[in-house]
Amino acid sequence: MYDDILLPTDGSDGIDAAAEHATTLAERFDATVRVLSVVDTRNRFESPTSGLSPEAWTQAERERADAAVETTVAALPDELAVETHRREGVPRKEILGFVEDEAVDMIVMGTHGRTGLDHYFIGSVAEQVVRKSPVPVVTVRLSAD
């Protein structure tokens, strides 16, 4: 039923909770977990007075994405079939594009559960993915505990 499970990660604390759910599903269905991190190419600090050049921003984002994948893979059992991926662009678009391009059957992703102004200003990649995903999405509340 589920052969490929996508586990997007941004390196947030608490990713172990989403990794645990992805592991349970992958073991149940003998599926591959595909860990994806997106290099966010939208440099919010690119201006003459903000101090980050586009190149510096992108390089920092690449390093963050690579570390996020490593951390997430470390939370998965060694015997699990795992693939790692990194894409560049707008996170929600890249996650949904990956689902379409790679024929993923399910997404398991963390959510911070932001509300109020944080949700308004920062938004929720998970919420946007849930709304537009052509495949089932399991969201897992991330916590640092």
Does the pLDDT of residue 23 top 70, yes or no?
yes
To which H or E segment does residue 82 belong? strand 82-89
**Cβ neighbours of 37 (radius 10 Å):** 28
Does the pLDDT of residue 121 top 50, yes or no?
no
Look at 37-46, 49-58, 67-76 and tell me which has the smallest mean pLDDT: 49-58
Domains and CATH numbers, the chain: 4-141 (3.40.50.620)
Alpha carbons 90 and 135: distance in angstroms, whole number: 19
pTM score, whole prediction: 0.88
Average pLDDT score over the chain: 87
**Is residue 106 a contact partner of residue 5, using CB atoms and an 8 Å limit?**
yes
